[in-house]
Amino acid sequence: MKLEDLLLKRSENKCELCQSGNALRPYEVAPGENSNEDNTILICDKCAAQIEKKEELDSSRWNCLTTSMWSEVPGVQVVTWRMLNRLRNESWAMESLDMMYLDDEKLAWAKATGDHESDGSVDLHKDSNGTVLQNGDTIVLTKSLDVKGSTLNAKLGTVVKNIRLVENNTEQIEGKIEGQVIVILTKYVRKHGA
């Protein structure tokens, strides 16, 4: 039986964290060498986006952890522990952490990524109005910009299509203006149509 089929059967076609039946996918709990039943869980896209820090952490949707913490699946236990730690400023999360038990091996696995040390805040690419930007979005310049090392001057109101987010720097995006790819600061753009 394929791993995904095993996960679907084990989870009864529901997210193993929040019990949603929408847009499920396997998620390998890092660090993992080989995907298997213990280190791979089935989660929904909403849980995945927040676990992977691609979306703001919404503490109200994570009350489900008070149930998933009792799972017998090692991967579910590890992700639950990590998420409870990211939410530790919430009293219910702290109480759940106090009740939760992981043996030494699972605790070492849970701590291996260092994710439990983060405070739940997520660094996202946002425009000058605070709207989240995604790869492929269209933006409008809110300021005329001189492009360093070029005679190009990008005028206020210039529309830039199909932007690309600069990885590891939420203050920068890349876009093509007059056939030239340039780096643009997010504080000088607004999402088109937003």
Q: Does a structural domain hold residue 145?
A: yes
Q: Which neighbouring-strand residues pair with 151?
A: none
Phi/psi at 159 (5° precision): -95, 130
102 and 39 in a common domain:
yes
Model pTM score: 0.66
Residue 123 lies in a domain: no
Shared domain check, 158 and 112: no
Q: Looking at the 3D structure of the chain, how many domains does it have?
A: 2
For residue 128, the model assigns a pLDDT of 87
Q: 10-residue block means of pLDDT along the chain (194 residues)?
A: 87 94 92 83 93 84 93 95 91 93 92 72 78 88 84 86 87 88 90 80
Among 100, 57, 103, 105, smallest CA distance to 80 is for 100
Residue 133 lies inside a defined structural domain of this protein: no
- The sign of the torsion formed by the CA atoms of 79, 85, 88, 92 equals positive
As a three-state string, the secondary structure of 14-71 is CCCCCCCCCCEEEEECCCCCCCCCCCEEEEEHHHHHHHCCCCCCCHHHHHHHHHHCCC
Q: Which of 82, 117, 152 is the last residue of a domain?
A: 117
Q: How does DSSP assign 65-96, residue by residue?
A: HHHHTT-S-HHHHHHHHHHHHHTTTSHHHHHH
Of 117, 152, 175, which residue sits at a domain end? 117
Which CATH number fits the domain that encloses residue 163?
A: 2.30.30.40
69 and 107 belong to one structural domain: yes
CB 41 within 8 Å of CB 55: no
Last residue of a domain, one of 65, 83, 117: 117
Model pLDDT, residue 116: 66
Residue 121 confidence (pLDDT):
60
Compute the chain's Rg from CA coordinates: 21
Say yes or no: 150 and 77 in one domain.
Answer: no
Q: How many CA atoms lie within 13 A of 3 on its CB side?
A: 13
Looking at residue 52, its pLDDT comes to: 85
Is residue 130 assigned to a domain?
Answer: no
User: Do 50 and 112 belong together in one domain?
Assistant: yes
Residue 165's domain comprises 139-191
**Residue 70, in any domain of the structure:** yes
Contact present, 156 and 141 (Cβ < 8 Å): yes
Which secondary-structure segment (H or E) carries 117? none
11 located within any domain:
yes
pLDDT value at position 118?
64
Q: Are residues 72 and 154 in the same domain?
A: no
> Based on the domain organization, do 8 and 93 belong to the same domain?
yes
**Do 59 and 148 reside in the same domain of the chain?**
no
